[in-house]
């Protein structure tokens, strides 16, 4: 039987504060295949980053998670700390939004990349340094033998993100989770970084799990997409279906709020993203939805199939 590389089943994450529990991720299910390009789209607070951190088991201590995450046939929640440490950086690695806060300011970038290699592979320091130079070359940093001696502050934002990517691919992982990897960068640098990640994904035959709020990036790069709202997956489909046969009012709202050519009025999603402790009983999007009917307020809809491999959490998915 065909096993996906990663499968996340019914993942929920709650935070406990003042004896109250707040569910920030609720029943998220998805899978990532080998050599897949999978994306989760959502706005701030939708729970997309917490979903990613759950996979690495890097949630903050006051967060409680439930569900099942299976990577290469093994349940991540059942792994010991030592097993997790082995897995992180070797089998799955992560690239974050802000490279400056992800790099240690008091060590050279060369040292920080070599550290990953020395931790996971049985090689000498000399070999690790040589390999580091190779890695910097593969992320297209000019004169890598000199740049390994740089500290993070001596590099530009784009360069630092390249260093992060070099670290992420150091041990040839089968999955890279990239959480808003280009949000802090300018568009011309963003184009460089995405081109680089896409190329490395093909070359090293990795899977990429991209988290973003930018529908443009999704349209150009991803194969399959899930849209998150208030901790839930509201729509899942191939990238073509998301854009051409949109099946959820929120996804439609996101697409329609993007600036169009001059003269075309934008159709914003009204209201605000709700606070997690003030979510309505039925459909969580109902208060902002243009297609709302009384039934929406009664019961939270399930993910229903719209077509093959296309699901939407909307009782009117077929009509919109």
Contact residues for other proteins (CB under 8 A)?
A: 43-44, 142, 156, 158-159, 186-192, 194-195, 213-221, 239-240, 243-244, 253-262, 264-270, 272-273
Least Å from the CB of residue 8 to other proteins: 24
Q: Would you give the distance in Å from CA 131 to the centre of its chain? A: 28
Per the CB < 8 A criterion, the answer to whether 222 and 30 are in contact is no
Least Å from the CB of residue 214 to other proteins: 7
Which residues, other chains included, contact 111 with Cβ-Cβ below 8 Å and sequence gap of 6+?
A: none
- 119: which 2 tokens? 């931790």
Per DSSP (E only), the strands in 72-182 are: 74-75, 92-95, 175-179
Q: Which position has the token pair 């440490």?
A: 85
d(Cα 47, Cα 234) in Å, to the nearest integer? 12
* 42/110 with CB nearer other proteins: 42
Least Å from the CB of residue 134 to other proteins: 21
* 206/210 with CB nearer other proteins: 210
* 53/269 with CB nearer other proteins: 269
Least Å from the CB of residue 191 to other proteins: 4
Least Å from the CB of residue 216 to other proteins: 3
Question: Do strands 63-71 and 74-75 pair parallel, antiparallel, or not at all (unpaired)?
Answer: antiparallel
* 67/274 with CB nearer other proteins: 274
- 196: which 2 tokens? 């680089």
Q: Would you give the distance in Å from CA 75 to the centre of its chain? A: 20
Which residues on neighbouring strands pair with residue 39, listed in sequence order? Answer: 210, 225
* 32/39 with CB nearer other proteins: 39
- 108: which 2 tokens? 């050279």
Least Å from the CB of residue 260 to other proteins: 6
* 46/54 with CB nearer other proteins: 46
């Amino acid at each position: 039987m065909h096993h996906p590389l990663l499968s996340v089943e019914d993942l929920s994450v709650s935070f406990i504060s003042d004896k109250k529990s707040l569910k920030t991720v609720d029943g998220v299910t998805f899978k990532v295949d080998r050599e897949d390009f999978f994306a989760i789209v959502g706005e701030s607070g939708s729970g997309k980053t917490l979903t990613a951190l759950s996979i690495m088991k890097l949630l903050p201590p006051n967060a409680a998670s439930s569900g099942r995450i299976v990577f290469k046939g093994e349940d991540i929640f059942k792994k010991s700390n030592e097993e997790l440490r082995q897995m992180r950086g070797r089998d799955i690695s992560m690239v974050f939004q802000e490279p400056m806060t992800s790099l240690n300011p008091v060590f050279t970038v060369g040292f920080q990349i070599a550290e990953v290699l020395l931790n996971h592979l049985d090689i000498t320091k000399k070999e690790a340094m040589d390999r580091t130079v190779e890695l910097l070359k593969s992320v297209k940093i000019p004169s890598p033998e000199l740049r390994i001696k740089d500290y993070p502050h001596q590099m530009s934002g784009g360069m630092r993100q390249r260093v992060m990517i070099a670290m992420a691919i150091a041990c040839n992982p089968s999955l890279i989770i990239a959480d808003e990897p280009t949000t802090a960068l300018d568009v011309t640098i963003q184009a460089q970084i995405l081109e680089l990640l896409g190329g490395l994904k093909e070359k090293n035959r990795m899977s990429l799990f991209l988290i973003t709020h930018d529908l443009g990036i999704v349209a150009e790069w991803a194969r399959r997409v899930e849209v998150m709202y208030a901790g839930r997956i509201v729509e899942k489909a191939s990238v073509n279906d998301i854009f051409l046969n949109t099946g959820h009012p929120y996804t439609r709202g996101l697409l329609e709020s993007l600036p169009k050519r001059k003269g075309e009025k934008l159709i914003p999603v009204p209201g605000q993203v709700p606070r997690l402790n003030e979510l309505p009983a039925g459909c969580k999007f109902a208060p902002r939805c243009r297609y709302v009917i009384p039934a929406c307020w009664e019961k939270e809809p399930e993910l229903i199939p719209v077509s093959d491999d296309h699901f939407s959490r909307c009782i009117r998915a077929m009509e919109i």
